Structure 1
Amino acid sequence: MRTFLTIWAGQVVSVVSSGMTGFALGLWIYEQTGEATPFVLIALFSSIPPFIISPFAGALVDRWDRRKVMLGADAGNALVTLGLLALFASGNLQLWQLYLAALLSSALNIFQLLAYQTIVTSLVPREQFGRANALVQTAQSLGAILSPILAAALYGTLGLTFIFALDLGGFAVAAATLLLAKVPQVKRALEAGQATLWADIRAGFDFIKTRRGLIGLAVLIALLNLLISSSTALSAPMILGFTSAQVLGVMQSVSSIGLFLGGVWASAWSNPRHKVLTIIACSIVAGLGLTISGLQPSPVLIAAGFFIFMFPITSINANLRAIVQTKVPEDLQGRVFSLILMTARAGMPLALLMSGPLADQVFEPGMAVGGALASGPLGALWGAGPGRGIGLMLSLSGIGMVLASLLMYAYPRLRNVEHELPDLNAKENEKK
């Protein structure tokens, strides 16, 4: 567990510094364009690699030294940041370059995510899987809390160049902790030369296709991601439509406290008896929070809605990962995680591609003062004016999350996956 915590600490620093860069670039984009579509396009380009390369990344992670995979991903992301820094410093930074950077970083992050998830199985006792997964999510929440506040403060004083430099320092810290860590190799990785890459990918498909409960989990997460991604990428322009960047930073940090406290709760209650039921219940709560966040142009109400939305996210992800880590052999986990990731994000590119134009051309004009949608009951509930179309999109997505969660829980293979599939890693974890 100590080795895991060493790696985790380095990742916390990197997550915070990278989050600062992402937030600062969002401010720069809004200053340059004042439109919602560029935000969606960045999210769109980030969503493409998980769908295309996840199976290959999973097979390679199962073959390679996972610590070196994480090191390589950090080094690659550092080079991307260095390139953006050089372009900005020379006055040549353009939107298309940010889209390309989002594409490259997303591809690198897939390798890091899959390696990180499988490392948990090697370094942590089985009964601590939930807690370790919650800590991984808590690192993300710390970044979500600290990054907007720090970036908003530094952007107006020291500028984007300084924030880029901090991001490079964060990658260096993460790399240093990985170099200090000793991660055991999985036996299958040492025998990888005996099978082709495609045979490895097919083995992952063959494993998951006969376990319909795991497919059900992937479909549930896919539905949730589809609904969330279609609207949350627009939350920043919605908020900036009626308030300042500083208020946006505070609101995002307040809502991220929900993610952090949810991570603390998930760490304390790290091994619920019914993990699938926990996932469903948390998904419903998240949907209700997203619905609330879109109702009115009130910083307090939006922050409260996102607090409720973010609180159960850690528990959803931690319990999903714990199910896979206990039901899937360790030498197959990279491939199975990658296939779940591919399925879970399959609809995100289309949703993101449509959401920007829908917001700019349909919902925002329709919910403007005197708009076609604002003149009826929708205007009475959500109000009229800048950002109200996006607010309506957020609420509709939240309602969809509630309905999707209830629908999937009615599928018996998903509902009973914990009982129908054996705990395949019990013996290995008794040795830790």
Structure 2
Amino acid sequence: MKLFNTIYELKSFLILWSSQTVSALGTAMTNYALVIWAYQQKGTASSITLLSVCSFLPSILFCFAAGTLADRWDKKRLMLVSDTVAAMGTATILLLYSTGTLQLWHLYIINFTLSFMNAFQNPAALVAQSLIVPEKHYARTSGLQAFANSLVTVLTPAIAVALLAFGGIQTVLIVDLSTFAVAFLALLLFIKIPPIRQSGEAKAPFLQECLSGLRFLREHRALFSLILFFSFVNLLASLSGNGIMPAMILSRSNQNQLALGAVSSAVGIGMLVGSILATAAPPAKRRTRVIFITCAVSFFLCDVFWGLGRSVPVWVFAAFAGNLPLPFIGVNITTIMRTKVPIEMQGRVFATRDTLQFTTIPLGLFLGGVLADNVFEPFMLSPSPLQHALSFLVGTGKGSGMAVIFLVIGVVGFAANLLCLRNPIFKELDT
């Protein structure tokens, strides 16, 4: 009976969550297929990198303004408009590809436009979930969201490759458009998002409101410190992680793409299992303790063992075990944000958080590549006492310099989280 009551209380969220997950899977498959197509056209990593930049940069640049408008405007209409623009982008790609006129610069423009709309969609969706979910279910629904993200990560390569083999990119794009239709109709017909009660005070000027999310965080020192710390965590994770992991695995496995595929799949499966556990777990009484312990464990098991490992089984273990704790971090941070930030400000504050936390990711990706190619790899190929000592830990040859980066990042990330555990400023977030 309790289960049925919970499902009834979350019926609107479950409809929104499931339909948006289907749509996210369609979008991810399109992105996967287009990355392959882009690489086939140019054969360069830069063509793929620029696609990522166009998909990432606008959501950072326009985040402050988008968060303010997400608080001001009707959440449902904003999400419907964003879904419509995304569908138009996919339809445009399908038309250009079908007529043989698709060029890379078309994808850059479309990705930039879709990323711009995502800057509005993301805070609106987060606030909408806060409005339709009872507070007692915040942790559970955050876990379900983490599960959906992990499921998309696991399923995307397999389904996209199957569709590409069956009917090419056109089939992938048609399936993507179908998933957009599912999400759009579910939101339009079945989801009612209650309006936020507005105070009788006059609205501040737009620019002032854009900065109000940052002001709110600066006035709440513990929350601001948590966000800044995870900006640092994202910098560390992007210095290694997806930035240089594929290159290290390939260079240390004699260009074995199956090895890279096994490690990448283990990452997704670890996050999938972790999200199931995070959803089923009872709400934590000391959320910050869970956040810092699981983050420390992730750095140690993933980065340290990726650095020390010299075989596929060790890398697969590190990928699975190191990514399993990640959903616990996201679930508890999101729950803290939703309980500590007034509902009428969540769009601006979530947008500010995204800007602060995600700006360090492209910086980390850039620095990781530069340090690997110009510092650590040459260092591990040049005999010296320190190189000799490190070679006992990570081995020698191509890829050993990147292994050192993983080892250093793992130790630094582990130690930083243990220090935060002892910092009293974060304890007020548990009350």
- Does the aligned pair in 1 maintain the 2:19–2:183 contact within 8 Å? yes
Q: Does 1:175 align with 2:184?
A: yes
Deviates more, 1:190-199 or 1:321-330: 190-199
Deviations 1:165-194 (A, max 9, x none): 222222222112111211111123x97984
Find out whether 1:139 has 2:148 as its counterpart.
yes
Q: 1:106 aligns with which of 115, 126, 129?
A: 115
Per the alignment, residue 90 of structure 2 pairs with 81
* CA deviation after TM superposition for structure 1 residue 207, in Å: 2.2
Say if 2:290 is the partner of 1:272.
no
Please, which of 55, 65, 88 is the counterpart of residue 56 of structure 1? 65
Amino acid at match of 2:81: G
1:197-346 alignment to 2 at 5 Å?
A: 197-234=206-243, 235-240=245-250, 242-243=254-255, 248-288=260-300, 289-296=302-309, 298-346=311-359
* Paired amino acid for 1:72: V
2:37 aligned with 1:25: no
1:196/1:159 CA distance change after superposition, 3 Å: same
Give the 3-state SS of the residue equivalent to 1:187 in structure 2.
coil
**Does the residue aligned with 1:183 lie in a helix, a strand or coil?**
coil
Provide Cα deviations, 1:30-89, integer angstroms capped at 9, x if missing partner. Answer: 555665555554444444334322211111111111122222222222233334444544
Q: Which letter does structure 2 place at the counterpart of 1:141?
A: S
Q: Structure 1 residues 4 and 291, CA, compared in 2 at 3 Å: closer, same or farther?
A: same
SS in 2 for 1:416: helix
What's the secondary structure of 1:261's corresponding residue? helix
Query: Could you tell me how far apart the structure 2 residues matched to 1:317 and 1:371 are?
Result: 41
What is the letter of the counterpart of residue 156 of structure 2? S
Q: CA–CA distance in 1 between the matches of 2:275 and 2:165?
A: 31
Change (3 A) 1:247 1:86: farther
2:60–2:119 CA contact under 8 A, matched in 1: no
- Secondary structure of the residue aligned to 2:297 is helix
Report the equivalent of 1:426: none
Q: TM-score, normalised by structure 1?
A: 0.85
Look up the equivalent residue of 1:304 and give its one-letter code.
F
Q: CA deviation at 1:356?
A: 3.3
Give 5+ residue unaligned stretches, structure 2: 1-9
Superposed, which structure 2 residues align to 1:378-393 within 5 Å?
Answer: 378-385=390-397, 387-393=399-405
Cα distance in 2 for partners of 1:267, 1:215 equals 26
Gaps of 5+ in 1: 420-432
Q: Which residue of 2 aligns with 1:406?
A: 418
> How many Å separate the matches in 1 of 2:411 and 2:182?
41
User: Aligned equivalents of 1:193 and 1:394: distance in 2?
Assistant: 52
Which of 5, 16, 20 in structure 1 is aligned with 2:14? 5
Distance 1:396 1:108 in 2: 37
Which residue identity lines up with residue 192 of structure 2 in the other structure? K
Question: Please, which of 341, 348, 354 is the counterpart of residue 361 of structure 2?
Answer: 348
Q: Which has the larger radius of gyration?
A: 2
Is the Cα–Cα contact under 8 Å of residues 293 and 418 in structure 2 kept in the other structure?
no
Q: Deviations over 1:296-340 (max 9, x none)?
A: 453332222221232122111111111111111110111111111
Instruction: Give the direction of change, closer, same or farther, for the CA distance of 1:353–1:31 in structure 2 (3 Å limit).
Output: same
CA drift of 1:341 comes to 1.4
The range that moved more, 371-380 or 211-220, is 371-380
By how many angstroms is 1:346 displaced? 2.8
% of aligned pairs identical? 31
Give the conservation status (yes or no) of the 8 Å contact 1:66–1:115: yes
Post-superposition offset of 1:252: 2.3
Aligned CA distance change for structure 1 residues 72 and 388 (closer, same or farther; 3 Å): farther
Match of 2:3 in 1: none
What SS does the corresponding residue of 2:283 show, helix, strand or coil?
coil
Deviates more, 1:345-354 or 1:270-279: 345-354
Measure, in 2, the Cα distance between the counterparts of 1:394 and 1:42.
26
Deviation at 1:2, TM superposition (A): 0.3
CA separation of 1:323/1:104 partners in 2, compared to 1, >3 Å: closer, same or farther?
same
Q: Which moved more, 1:221-230 or 1:197-206?
A: 197-206
C-alpha separation in 2, matches of 1:322 and 1:36: 38
- SS in structure 2 of the partner of residue 376 of structure 1: helix
In structure 1, distance between residues paired with 2:351 and 2:365: 21
Q: 1:378 to 1:26 in 2, by over 3 A?
A: farther
Instruction: Report the counterpart of residue 376 of structure 1 in structure 2.
Output: 388
Q: Does 1:152 align with 2:169?
A: no
Q: Is the 8 A contact 2:235 2:361 kept in 1?
A: yes
TM-score (norm 2): 0.85
Tell me the alpha carbon deviations over residues 370-406 of structure 1, each in whole angstroms, 9 at most, x when there is no partner. 5669963444433445555444434433333223323
- What number of residue pairs does the alignment pair up? 416
Q: 2 CA distance for matches of 1:295 and 1:96?
A: 41
Pair 1:247–1:15, CA change in 2 (3 A): farther
Given that residues 41 and 353 in structure 1 are in contact (C-alpha distance below 8 angstroms), is that contact kept between their aligned partners in structure 2? no
